[in-house]
Amino acid sequence: MDDTFRDVVLLLPGQGAQYPRMGAGLYAGDPVFTDAVDRCLALFDNGDELRADWLGDHPAIGIDDVRRAQPLLFTLDYALGRMVMSWGVRPAALLGHSVGELAAAALAGVFTLEDAVAVMRDRVTRIAPTPPGGLLTVAGTPDDVRPFLARHPTIAVGALNAPRQTVLAGLAGPLDAIAADLRHAGITTMPVAAHHPFHSPVLAPLFHDLTLYRQITAHPPQVPLWSAFTRTRLEADTVADAALWASHPAAPVHFWPTLDKLLFTGRHLLLETGPGKSLTTIARRHPAVRLGHHTTVALLPARSRTPDDDRQQTARAREQLRAATTAPQWA
């Protein structure tokens, strides 16, 4: 089979992908990445504190706190995307997971960076004071977990990441209770690094006010933008829907069904443009990837022990892109 994959698709991860000093080895080393990070952080009132906690060994606020995870995930996804594009790569599509979709929208030109960060700031402000909650990955299908959801009605499916990887969302007490029931039934579970019930209807009342979203201009995507919330490619009329963007924190993420549709649009190199390897690990389970119709590359390591880890992984990823794509230009 021809080893050339003509189209690069950027996969942008979201909540749960964060880890301490993610991507920090590229800061002050890659000028495009550094400039994009600085432009993002300058738009946050606490940008200096965000940078200090990201780069420091002893952050004042931990990386899993919504006040750090969400802004820094957005910033890293966006900055890494800009870096890849500076290499001459013109993505055939963008697909984000959770907050990764907002970064994808900024990269696609739907929102200016200023407006995307305004949305990010608004989300953090609304979510931070809410009661503790979280996300729970379950090794099972939605049908497998449905009987348990009936006994725990405040828990909802927050994401469908793979056919047998369902993520549940809810407040801390009920989430602990359903986790215990699932484990008692012999079903494997794993908590996601999150302190709030992202993608749960519990958060929906926080986002009924659409004032901010109606003040922001949404432009037609300059790059094909796929949404794991609608399970479709977003068109000009869809991106203009203020309610869609406001609903993201409380709506389920249908990553696998969306990826499945996207993979039917051509032969792709799926490049994880964010911290870790969670989305490429999921993508490698897809039959079309296993058969060799598509391939996957992660831009950053699963975890960075030293700054060199980031630089070395990024250099390897760039060489893999050169070898496996027909990008029109390379810097």
Residue at a domain's end among 153, 171, 195? 195
pLDDT exceeds 70 at position 331: no
- 183 and 262 part of one domain: no
**Same domain as 170, residue 76:** no
Tens digits of residue pLDDT in 75-98: 999 999 999 999 999 999 999 999
Q: Are residues 34 and 92 in the same domain?
A: yes
Q: Are residues 101 and 226 in the same domain?
A: yes
Please tell me whether residues 85 and 43 are part of one structural domain: yes
Q: 143-175 pLDDT, tens per residue?
A: 999 999 999 999 999 999 999 999 999 999 999
pLDDT in tens, 22-77: 999 999 999 999 999 999 999 999 999 999 999 999 999 999 999 999 999 999 99
pLDDT, average across residues 315-324: 91
216 and 122, same domain (yes or no): yes
Same domain for 262 and 289, yes or no, is yes
Within-domain flag for 274: yes
Q: Which domain-ending residue is among 195, 211, 226?
A: 195
Q: What is the CATH number of the domain that holds 91?
A: 3.40.366.10
Average pLDDT over residues 207-227: 97
Residue 232 forms part of a structural domain: yes
pLDDT, position 327: 52
pTM as predicted: 0.96
> Which residue, 195, 218, 243, sits at the end of a domain?
195
Q: Are residues 188 and 101 in the same domain?
A: no
Residue-range definition of the domain harbouring residue 36: 7-129+203-324
Instruction: Tell me, yes or no, whether 329 lies in a domain.
Output: no
Name which residue leads in pLDDT, 327 or 99.
99
* Band (323; pLDDT cuts 50, 70, 90): confident
Q: What is the pLDDT of residues 93-135, one digit of tens each?
A: 999 999 999 999 999 999 999 999 999 999 999 999 999 999 9
Domain count, the chain: 2
CATH of the domain at 182: 3.30.70.250
24 shares its domain with 157: no
- Residue 187 domain flag: yes
Query: 152 with 280, same domain?
Result: no
Q: Model confidence at 324, in pLDDT bands (50, 70, 90)?
A: confident
Residue 48 lies in a domain: yes
Query: Does residue 329 carry a pLDDT above 80?
Result: no
The answer to whether residue 2 sits within a structural domain is: no
109, 57: one domain: yes
pLDDT of residue 325: 72
pLDDT bucket at 3, cuts 50 / 70 / 90: low
Please tell me the distance from the alpha carbon of residue 232 to that of residue 259, in angstroms, as a whole number.
10
Say if 331 falls within a structural domain.
Answer: no
Contact between 169 and 199 under an 8 Å Cβ cutoff? The reply is: yes
214, 251: one domain: yes
